[in-house]
């Protein structure tokens, strides 16, 4: 099968965008393997997930916090509807290692639909999002009319429940014009702050060499853009 130029460009761009977070995923996977080996950890065996019968474990991460190890587990359940805008159900469980066993600390079941075609189709990046809690963001992408767009969705523990904290754009590519100066990719950084949740910094690099650092603060219940710092052209 031959790829036309537009399809090839989009395929290469998506591959490059995925590589921006590949090292983070590799580190998470390596970390989890080490934890699993050290403590012989198996989420389906060591956590009481009986209320999640029929749910799929998407991913988990464990932080080596003193005095107890702490972790987050993300689960999904395929939706019955298979339309483009129909997602899968998502649930989140936090747990810790205490008194020689793993215990569930918080369980937030069915946070709504995430994904498309009835499936959960996100990459997950786990992060510390405040001095006292952890969370994660989901990386999504969409393609329509030759335009490719990327977005992250932030999830955190608030008022004893995992909640949706907002979304941030992180990539744009005009497949109809590869020289479009609005084409950019970016890297995401969580920056420590004294706010309820840490700040998010998006470092955008445009095709013409221009760079913009976009800073988002959590306020009024969601992440909002507060500053753009321009560099380059």
Per-residue pLDDT tens digits for 43-58: 999 999 999 999 999 9
Instruction: Kindly list the distances between the CA atom of residue 105 and the CA atoms of 88, 93, 102, 161, 173, in Å, as whole numbers in the listed order.
Output: 24, 8, 9, 11, 41
Strands 88-98 and 70-77 turn out to be antiparallel
pLDDT-derived band at 114, boundaries 50, 70, 90: confident
Token pair in block for residue 13: 């761009």
Residue 110 CA to residue 37 CA, distance in Å, equals: 30
Residues 112, 86 contacting (CB under 8 angstroms): no
Please choose, from the candidates 21, 4, 231, 12, the residue with its C-alpha nearest in 3D space to the C-alpha of residue 123.
21
Residue 9 neighbours by CB under 8 Å, 6+ apart: 173, 175, 178
The token pair at 113 is 């639909």
Domain boundaries, given as residue ranges, for the chain: 5-183
Contact 40, 17 (CB under 8 A): no
| Peptide bond preceding 67 in cis form (omega within 30 of 0) | yes
pTM: 0.80
Q: Give, as one character, the DSSP assignment of residue 221.
A: T
Lowest mean pLDDT among 6-10, 104-108, 169-173, 220-224: 6-10
pLDDT for the residue 140: 86
| 129-155 pLDDT tens trace | 998 889 999 998 887 788 889 999 999
Q: Quick one: DSSP state of residue 2?
A: P
Tokens of 66: 């003193």
How many helices and strands (H and E) does the chain possess? 2, 13
Tokens of 6: 């537009």
Paired tokens of 42: 């198996």
């Amino acid at each position: 099968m031959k790829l036309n130029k537009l399809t090839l460009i989009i395929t290469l761009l998506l591959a490059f965008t995925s590589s921006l977070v590949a090292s983070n995923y590799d580190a998470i996977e390596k970390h989890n393997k080490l934890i699993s080996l050290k403590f012989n950890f198996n989420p389906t065996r060591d956590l009481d997930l009986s209320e999640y019968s029929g749910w799929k474990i998407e991913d988990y991460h464990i932080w080596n916090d003193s005095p107890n190890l702490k972790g987050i587990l993300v689960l999904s359940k395929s939706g019955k509807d298979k339309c483009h805008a129909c997602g899968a159900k998502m649930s989140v469980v936090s747990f810790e290692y205490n008194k020689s066993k793993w215990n569930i600390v918080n369980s937030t079941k069915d946070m709504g639909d995430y994904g498309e075609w009835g499936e959960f189709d996100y990459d997950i990046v786990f992060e510390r999002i405040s001095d006292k809690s952890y969370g994660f963001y989901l990386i999504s992408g969409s393609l329509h009319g030759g335009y490719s767009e990327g977005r992250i969705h932030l999830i955190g523990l608030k008022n004893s429940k995992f909640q949706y904290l907002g979304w941030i754009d992180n990539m744009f590519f005009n497949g109809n014009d590869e020289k479009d100066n609005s084409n950019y990719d970016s890297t995401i950084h969580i920056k420590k702050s004294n706010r309820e949740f840490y700040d998010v910094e998006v470092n955008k690099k445009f095709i013409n060499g221009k760079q913009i650092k976009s800073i988002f603060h959590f306020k009024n219940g969601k992440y909002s853009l507060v500053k753009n710092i321009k560099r380059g052209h």
